[in-house]
Amino acid sequence: MFADYLLLLFATEPRRAKAIYNVCRGRRTVSTLFAGLTYQQLAWLDSWHGVPLAKFEAAAQTLIAAGWLQAPTDGYLALTAAGQAQQAELQQRLYQPVAWQQFRQADVRRFTALSQLALQVVSEYSHQTKRYYPVTTDPGVQATVKRWFRQWRKPMIVTQVVTELHAFLATLAPTQATIFMNSVTGYDFPGQTDQQLATAFKRTPVEILVMRKDLSCQLVAWLRQQPTGPLAALVKPLVKANPVSTSAWQTYQAFQQTADLSQIATQRRLKLSTVREHLLETAILTPGFPFETILTPELLAPLTAVFGESASVATWRFEQVQSVAPTLDFFCFRLYQIMRCQRATA
């Protein structure tokens, strides 16, 4: 069940439920990203793209009804003792994704759609069939695959694709490789649905779905390492040049030239608050962000004095430092929180 995977994302200390849902749904607001960072869940960013908020809420309700989650304060959910035991059991039993951080680094969903049609096209081509029902009628996907196929269509394409696939599948556990191939659509083989694979492998359909998403991520990761074949060529344009939005990245580039945020705002015709949001987003998603360029020793002093000893970043309150240093603004406080999270995990 979907709810089982949701339970894995909670802990005994209360977590902001909506932030967790939005991390999964790929909402990139600073507050969502920050929650993802503090809960160490950024790998889940965008992993359940397109799933409506209501589905998360309904799943959480079933977990509450089962006695595994409780709501200590409005908007927050925490594991109960029974929930903790259930979570531990699920961690053992459920398939656990290993490569979901690819969702952040490349457009995995697009790759899944493209590769599905591409594999069908190559399979049918290898059997010299021209009449077949395409697995997707999405015109964008069809056009991209058509261009790709034209570019790579040489007698060798079949061998090249098989070589790529074989090498990739050989890196997987046999069950996973079998699930991957059985879900492929090709010549005289429509492919098995998640429900059918679930029955065959004694898993739930959601587990198969999670596994297949993860297999897509693993394939993307593998193709990025082996960049010469035709399938790798499908991935290449989908790899994100930088981890944040284009606009935030431009702000960050300007920031590397000058630490004067007002100047960046004027230069980029943005509000100062937007510049700050961009920098927070970048700080959360980019390793090695130069925090000290903004957090000068004078600014750091009160922050370290108040929070230096406390590791539970999510529980800090801005008011605590405000009472000591009334001029310090929220931006610096949030940036310091991000710095501490990053350095704790590093």
- Is 328 one of the binding residues for another protein (CB under 8 A)? no
For another protein, give the closer residue by CB, 164 or 277. 164
Query: Is residue 38 a contact point for another protein (CB under 8 A)?
Result: no
Contacts of range 291-298, beta carbons closer than 8 Å, 24 or more positions apart:
291/335, 291/336, 291/338, 291/339, 293/255, 293/259, 294/259, 294/261, 294/332, 294/335, 295/332, 295/335, 295/336, 295/339
Judged by CB under 8 A, the chain residues 109 through 148 that form the site for another protein are 116, 119, 122-123, 126-128, 130-140
d(CA 295, CA 301): 9
Residue 186's beta-bridge partner residues? 189
100/102 Cα distance (integer angstroms): 5
* In the complex, least distance from residue 178 CB atom to another protein, rounded to whole angstroms: 5
Number of residues engaging another protein in binding (CB under 8 A): 48
In the bound complex, what is the minimum distance in angstroms from residue 162's beta carbon to another protein?
5
Strand partners, 106: 239
Which of 3, 106, 161, 220 is the binder for another protein (CB under 8 A)?
Answer: 161
Nearer to another protein, 157 or 335 (CB): 157
Phi, psi (rounded to 5 degrees) for 14:
-60, 140
Question: Of 205 and 243, which has the nearer Cβ to another protein?
Answer: 205
Does 330 sit near another protein (CB under 8 A)?
no
Site for another protein contains 44 (CB under 8 A): no
CA distances from 303 to 1, 18, 77, 171, 203 (A): 43, 28, 28, 47, 49
- The contact mask relative to another protein for 178-217 (x = CB under 8 A, - = no) is x-xxx-xxxxxxxxxxxxx--xxx----------------
> Which residue, 130 or 269, has its beta carbon nearer to another protein?
130
CB of 48 to another protein, least distance (A): 13
For helices 17-25 and 53-65, the axis angle rounded to 10 degrees is 140
What is the rounded distance in angstroms from the CA atom of residue 343 to the CA atom of residue 64?
34
Q: Which of 40, 76, 52, 55 is nearest to 2 (CA)?
A: 55
Per CB under 8 A, 218 contacts another protein? no
How far apart CA 158 and CA 122 sit, in angstroms, is 6
Cβ proximity to another protein: between 142 and 342 the closer is 142
Residues that bind another protein (CB under 8 A): 116, 119, 122-123, 126-128, 130-140, 155, 158-159, 161-162, 165-166, 169, 174, 177-178, 180-182, 184-196, 199-201
